[in-house]
Chain A
Amino acid sequence: MKIKTFYFLALIFTTFITFVSGVYADNNPKNIIRLATTTSTDNSGLLAALLPKFTESTGYEVHVIAVGTGKALRMGKDGDVDLVLVHARQAEDKFVTEGFGEKRFGVMYNDFVIVGPNHDPAGIRKAENVVEALAGIANHHAIFVSRGDDSGTHKKELYLWGKANTKAEGNWYREAGQSMGKVLQIAAEMGAYTLTDRGTWLAYEAKSPLRISFEGDPLLFNPYGIIAVNPARHTDTNHQGAMALIKWLISPDGQQMIGDYRIGDNRLFTPSANAGEFVSFSKVD
């Protein structure tokens, strides 16, 4: 009995060590790029399709941390990541002018849509523009689920309520504080309207009872920018790796792959980079 127990413990211990030694197996920071990005680029499957090709051609491994735009920029400010890929133009420009980021490169765009229950209780399908659509929701006190998490989508939504001159508050306005996917599920369960980027929407459309209620206003344009963390401020970030990733994403090959990424028959993102911008910016490369 004693001996059996001993062997048993020895077996457990060996298993421990074998497992645990794996933790430190691959920890070469030079080859690792940390990208803070929004849930929209990650949940839509775009990065999962692109990044293995990048790793193949450059040897860099990309660690993707998917959060809201606000949190992603915060991580960039603190130097906890090497670069950010986000969608909130004003916040991005502020990030660069305050010296946290080096330069913003446009990568791609898609647009926002308002989705809601099929029977359209606020009657916004006939709306002329997004301002009218939002006002319709507010006037009907139709339930609207907000991201409420300082993400790019949330910032956009607040901007649009401002444009519509409407106070988004009351029992019909619900702040979820969760990711886009979660909010789409919540809106579906509640039979509510919500604002979503088209990429995430296309990824969820098949599983959702909601329908597009309003789309196509120029105000709903949603550009994505990529910014390397300023190496002058945070000397120990992997700046070389960050620039390699930016260069690859805005190269003709990278742009082609973004444009080719589809869910079903739908293109999720339209490439919009200007590669010449990169050449004039990085004299070293």
Chain B
Amino acid sequence: METLSDATLTALQLLISGNTELWEIIGISFRVSLLAILVATPPAIVTAFVLAYLRFPGRRLLISINSTLLSVPAVVVGLTLYILLSRQGPMGEWKLLFTQTAMVLGQIALSFPILAAMGHSALQAVDKRAWETARTLGAGPIRALFTIMHEARFGLMAALLAAFGRIIAEVGASMMLGGNILHYTRNIPTAIALETSKGEFAQGIALGIVLLVLAFTLNALLQNFQGRGQPVT
């Protein structure tokens, strides 16, 4: 039985020596999760804007539904999409099950509620007059939306990072929808699950380190975006 320090040491060696299989897995993880965030963000921000700025019947219900979706387990999202995407399911024609696209869809479904909920509270916090001022100064609705997005940029950035953090580290949906296929749909979390089940703890730890470094980098970036803030003097 290898000790934790042994496994970590081997893990670092694997990372530094540029083990192609390991780096390929990391690449797949990033590609899939970045694409998912890229696709999910625009509609999520529009949703957040609608929830924050418009008043219509059913708005509260919509907010409640979205908040509920925040707590749906990833495996349930995975299972639902699995049934839809299976050849026997309504979307079987598209042949998407066990592809990276299926993983992207799963991660979109997981990130959207976070983006919408956190985006909603970020936009809600912006002074309504920002919108009105932009509009009176002749900005179109799109231009005005960008203005308030700029006002709420820290909150929106936090939403983006939280959503990315959830999907990059998510194992349940990726395992079900991607099938953990080597060179194709094996990403960091599914690889950790597999290597652990094989007793190859070093590989698992190496990938865990990558996730931690990533989380740290993202948070450092966020700090950068927060800027200096306004210290109380």
Contacts and interface: CB of A to CB of B under 8 A. Distances in A.
Contacts of A179: 197
Contacts of A203: 198
A23 B1 CA distance: 38
Nearest to A79: B87
Q: Which of B100, B185, B199 has the most CB of A within 10 A?
A: B199
A63 B181 contact: yes
Contacts of B180: 65-66
Nearest to B88: A78
B52 interface: no
B98 A23 contact: no
Interface string B21-35: 000000100111011
Interface in B177-214: 179-182, 184-185, 196-199
Interface residues of B, number: 29
B124 interface: no
Contact of A23 (B31, B181, B198): B31
A207 B199 contact: yes
Contact of A182 (B38, B92, B197): B197
A78 B89 CA distance: 9
Contact of B98 (A20, A22, A63): A63
A204 B38 contact: no
B182 A64 contact: yes
A23 B101 contact: yes
Contacts of A48: 182
Contact of A79 (B1, B34, B88, B196): B88
A65 B181 contact: yes
Contacts of B181: 63-65
Interface in A187-241: 203-204, 207, 209, 234, 236
A46 to B, nearest CB: 13
Interface in B41-96: 86-88, 92, 95
A185 B92 CA distance: 37
Contact of B34 (A20, A182, A185, A204): A20
A236 B31 contact: no
Nearest to A81: B98
A80 interface: yes
A27 interface: yes
Nearest to B184: A63
Contacts of B97: 80
Given A23-B101, A185-B199, A29 B34 contact: no
A64 B184 CA distance: 10
Interface in A65-99: 65-66, 78-81
B121 interface: no
A16 interface: yes
Contact of B198 (A27, A43, A79): A43
B10 interface: no
Contact of A236 (B34, B95, B196): B95
15 contacts: A16-B38, A19-B27, A22-B31, A34-B98, A43-B197, A63-B181, A65-B179, A80-B87, A80-B97, A81-B98, A181-B198, A182-B196, A204-B199, A234-B87, A236-B87
Interface of B: 1, 27, 30-32, 34-35, 38, 86-88, 92, 95, 97-101, 104, 179-182, 184-185, 196-199
Given A23-B100, A39-B197, A80-B98, 10 more contacts: A19-B35, A20-B34, A22-B31, A63-B181, A63-B184, A64-B181, A80-B86, A81-B98, A207-B1, A236-B87
**A-B interface, 10 closest residue pairs, ranked by CB to CB distance from nearest:** A79-B87, A65-B179, A20-B35, A63-B181, A182-B197, A181-B197, A78-B88, A19-B31, A23-B100, A179-B197
Interface of A: 16, 19-20, 22-24, 27, 29, 34, 39, 43, 48, 63-66, 78-81, 178-179, 181-182, 184-185, 203-204, 207, 209, 234, 236
